[in-house]
Amino acid sequence: MPLSKVSAGLPSGTGLYNTDIIAWTREQVSLLRAGRLSELDIDHIAEEIEDVGKSEQRELAGRMAVLIAHLIKWQYQPQRRGHSWQYTIRAQRRAIALRIERTPSLKVMLRNADWREEIWSDAIAATSAEADLEDLPLTCPWTLIQVLDSDWLPPAVP
């Protein structure tokens, strides 16, 4: 199979990376499979591999923030509780569990107190903007086990 740059008349390597990432990806795969390692765009390949890990981390952080935001609303707005909140809480917990099962090294992030504080801050910001809640705790009052427990919901705040 000819390389995409040859068949498409496109620049190769770094030039292609900057103009058409999909074509660059196809080219790099072709080079790898052909054993033409010296022609690979190593710097950009390393950057892309690193970005895959960052993407996994961003997904986990986003899901945790959505989950915690809904737990906050559940606790502080009991009069507005509904099936959609329950569904979102369940769906985020399932997706988080699946992500951790598929990528076990993400557990390290869950144990990182600074990361959890950042997630709490993101959840507070999202909830405050959406629900106009005030006087929320500065730190998460729940344990990680509670947050991820499929049977746990926070009690209403009077």
Q: Taking all residues of the chain, what is their mean pLDDT, rounded to a whole number? A: 90
With pLDDT > 90 as the criterion, what percentage of the chain qualifies? Answer: 79
**pTM of this structure:** 0.80
Nearest to 138 by CA among 112, 118, 158: 118
Contacts (Cβ under 8 Å, ≥6 apart) of 60: 96, 99, 100, 106, 109
d(CA 90, CA 149): 10
Q: pLDDT grade, residue 4 (50/70/90)?
A: very low
Domain borders along the chain are 4-40, 53-148
d(CA 112, CA 116): 6
Q: pLDDT grade, residue 1 (50/70/90)?
A: very low
How does pLDDT run across 95-138, given as a tens digit for each residue?
Answer: 999 999 999 999 999 999 999 999 999 999 999 878 778 789 99
Taking the alpha carbons at both ends of the chain, their separation in whole angstroms is 68
Determine which helix (DSSP H) or strand (DSSP E) holds 112, and give its type and residue range: none
